[in-house]
Structure 1
């Protein structure tokens, strides 16, 4: 049966909600022992057994439990493609173009899988938890737990819009658990590796080197560097304004070590992309995902293959490397808390907790030599 929570969510504190839920539990257990069935009309039974108590709206419990079935029955059938288009149209007002594209791709693959595996499923009302679970298992078998969880999140988001608009009775995906996944992390470069790569690029590919320096010295993500336009660089105030991962716009200081390497961009059209395949400041008719993939492939061709670097190293590794080096330098001159407080302003992490988690993930925090701890006790 669908869980019954009544109006517990209207109470503010955990204690109040537990108190209400415990009351519901006692009443429901009492009713069940006295012969109450959620599948039948028990109003007369309850009033006959409890004439002095305040009437309990047993029918509201029954109706709550059967709400999904009733909605599905009363809602006119809508074909799958039409339903997902409807949900996406409402959702697109709240998401950016990249997220919309991800939704579209996942919906397309889901509908293709349905057409191949369950050709009899034509309407959105015919979907159930079993079919959705089967699809997510298909994604898991062919990709990874993380990708499977991403499909679950995006499809659930659209399905929730359909539930909210009474197109379906219930968003079944919410009841499918999230799988534990181990995130992939790029390794950091050693000092020798980093210096050798920079020297090599200085001669072989200066444009790619400058791209990497925005990741290394300004701690931007590769996709954020691809988004930069000439107008995002404010040379007079020495700042860069860009679209970040979780915020519409973010401002960062450009350190002089990076400014000194920038060519003169004062006369370049501010609307042009800062980085293109052939020069600084130009047009590039490609989606930002394609632009990011271009530099990823270029790095592989110019650096990873010649240097024999495996899949654990990439453009993102430079961000890990320079944050690690900066933190270790700062912690030599101050306390860990002071070092993190200053580092948080530089990296742009939203909270100390987020920065500390990041530093743990990349193994930036290492203890000093603890050999003396192993000395034998007398």
Structure 2
């Protein structure tokens, strides 16, 4: 509670002074009941909206986007989780905020500290929450619940490198031999990741109709692509042979490429299934934890870049810039052009 004074001693007559005081009291009381705060610096009435109400509107907004396929299932699930964590944080505060204008820079900074310190999250997780907060504040600004995006003043933390590395050539051969004997359908999944660089979420949505066997290419529609753009990638001869050996194309073209037990079917598999089975294989082969399912993409980009050049690897990976492709090439895996070794310079 804070005291705010309205000085009326400039009014000479006591009766007029009391009349003015009564009017001020009535006006201020009504405004306070509607959520007004005499110390709040707001530019419109929307900023007096209740925090919980705005969260509810934002949640319904996301539900509509999800229903219209504007955002992916994973994005929708991720955003809902972050909203839930934010709501729990606010409810557990000694003095939770009530109005959206209280959702300011200091509050957001405290929330990110809560994620990092109280929830013992990594810098990467904290930064992911920061990205989501920025997206949320952009929506709030667009809807005039706030005047600007405060998250722009909050810096990202330096992150540790991802604990993921490409498989060595020896381990790739061991993986192939193991899966040829134990699960040829999952071998096809691993080969798809290694040769096509299709992201796991996209891979789970590929249908047989997306594959052009004659031209050896697969179409990734904008509706399932991460960057929301149509894409086309080449299918290696090894992939075509594996598919034919497994009679993949004997199935209906509307089937997903990977369904139950990683075989074609009408119910798509999930990226979690890919990861969980890969981890079982990793344990069986006593591979290090730094080997993850996505490591197959790292391995494929490394090997294609070293064999055919980084530009070809960039296009196959559907990267907009070579700098993105370079992130998959670490240390000894990075290419050096032979021409640089024998260039006759002036100096």
For normalisation by structure 2, the TM-score amounts to: 0.74
The 2-side partners of 1:212 and 1:175 are apart by: 42
Q: What per-residue deviation string (whole Å, max 9, x for no partner) do you get for residues 279-318 of structure 1?
A: 52113377xxxx11112111111x2112222321111112
Total equivalences in the alignment: 287
**Root mean square deviation, CA, Å:** 2.6
Match of 1:261 in 2: 242
Match of 2:43 in 1: 71
1:250 Cα deviation after fit: 1.2
Question: Which one of the candidate residues 196, 203, 211 is aligned to 2:181?
Answer: 203
* 1:264-279 matches, cutoff 5 A: 264-279=247-262
* 1:157-172 matches, cutoff 5 A: 157-172=135-150
1:86–1:363 distance in 2 versus 1, CA, 3 Å:
farther
Secondary structure at 1:121 match in 2: coil
1:199 Cα deviation after fit: 0.2
Does the aligned pair in 2 maintain the 1:274–1:282 contact within 8 Å?
yes
Match of 1:29 in 2: none
Q: What per-residue deviation string (whole Å, max 9, x for no partner) do you get for residues 177-198 of structure 1?
A: 2222133052122221111111
The 2-side partners of 1:248 and 1:118 are apart by: 46
Match of 2:272 in 1: 293
The 1-side partners of 2:332 and 2:43 are apart by: 51
* 1:107-146 matches, cutoff 5 A: 107-118=83-94, 120-141=96-117, 142-146=120-124
* 1:1-378 matches, cutoff 5 A: 69-71=41-43, 74-75=45-46, 77-90=48-61, 93=65, 95-118=71-94, 120-141=96-117, 142-242=120-220, 243-262=224-243, 263-284=246-267, 291-301=270-280, 303-330=281-308, 339-355=309-325, 357-361=326-330, 363-365=332-334
Unaligned runs of 5+ in 2: 1-39, 338-347
For normalisation by structure 1, the TM-score amounts to: 0.68
Secondary structure at 1:147 match in 2: helix
1:76–1:360 distance in 2 versus 1, CA, 3 Å:
closer
Does the aligned pair in 2 maintain the 1:107–1:155 contact within 8 Å?
no
Does the aligned pair in 1 maintain the 2:47–2:100 contact within 8 Å?
no
The 1-side partners of 2:78 and 2:331 are apart by: 28
The 1-side partners of 2:324 and 2:47 are apart by: 46
The 2-side partners of 1:350 and 1:236 are apart by: 27
The 1-side partners of 2:311 and 2:138 are apart by: 40
1:107 Cα deviation after fit: 0.8
Runs of 4+ in 1 over 6 A off after TM superposition: none
1:204–1:266 distance in 2 versus 1, CA, 3 Å:
closer
1:230 Cα deviation after fit: 1.8
Unaligned runs of 5+ in 1: 1-67, 331-338, 369-378
Does the aligned pair in 2 maintain the 1:156–1:173 contact within 8 Å?
yes
Out of 210-219 and 260-269, give the one that drifted further: 260-269
1:329–1:99 distance in 2 versus 1, CA, 3 Å:
same
Secondary structure at 1:157 match in 2: helix
